[in-house]
Amino acid sequence: MANRRTFSAFAPFCIAEWVYQKKGSKDLYRLRDASLLDPLLLLRTSYSHLTAASAIARNILASQMSLQSAPNLYALLQSYLQRLAQFDNPNTLSLSFVLKLLTHEGLLSIRPQCALCNNEALAIKEGESLCHDHSSLQDVFFSSEEWKTVLLLTHAKQFSLLQQIEISDPLEEKITESVGTFFSKK
């Protein structure tokens, strides 16, 4: 008999539906039913894909309040997890996700122009896009090409655009340094 793996709705990195029923007058809920919708098996093909999925999950857990509905954010999360295995460099999607997450939460405003003038933005400070003149030496600066990549990661509406992006290690470090402060405050 072939070795068949069965996945449950309780496996990590799966898309499942859980139905709870309130028990009595207390705030306790009983699990009534659990259904596996998508086991996301392709995420398990490499360590780098699992690591990227973990980064996405950590960012969601660090940014969202319990029991608060966020259907648009959930749809984004679901689509990113389902597409992650299609990327040779899954960090591209995890970086794009964190930028979109912070934008969705109103904590980040990545724009081509400085928030204080119309000059080209090349830095992020406290969630705002700033030009060289309005930023300080402590801020993380991006080259013009890097800033275009950050804009694309933040605002792309198609995964095919994200698949074309090559992210260097220094650019990944700059983005992580720029947005990491939002999660360390929680």
Q: What is the CA radius of gyration of the chain?
A: 19
Domains and CATH numbers, the chain: 1-39 (no CATH), 42-184 (1.20.1440.120)
Backbone angles phi, psi at 172, to 5 degrees: -60, -40
Residue 18: its pLDDT value, please? 84
What's residue 3's pLDDT? 41
Q: Provide the whole-model pTM.
A: 0.84
Going residue by residue through the chain, which has 186 residues, state the pLDDT in tens, using 9 for 90 and above: 344 455 576 777 888 888 888 877 777 888 888 888 888 888 888 999 999 999 998 998 888 877 778 889 999 999 999 999 999 999 999 999 999 999 999 999 999 999 999 999 999 998 899 999 999 888 889 999 999 999 999 999 999 999 999 999 999 999 998 887 676 544
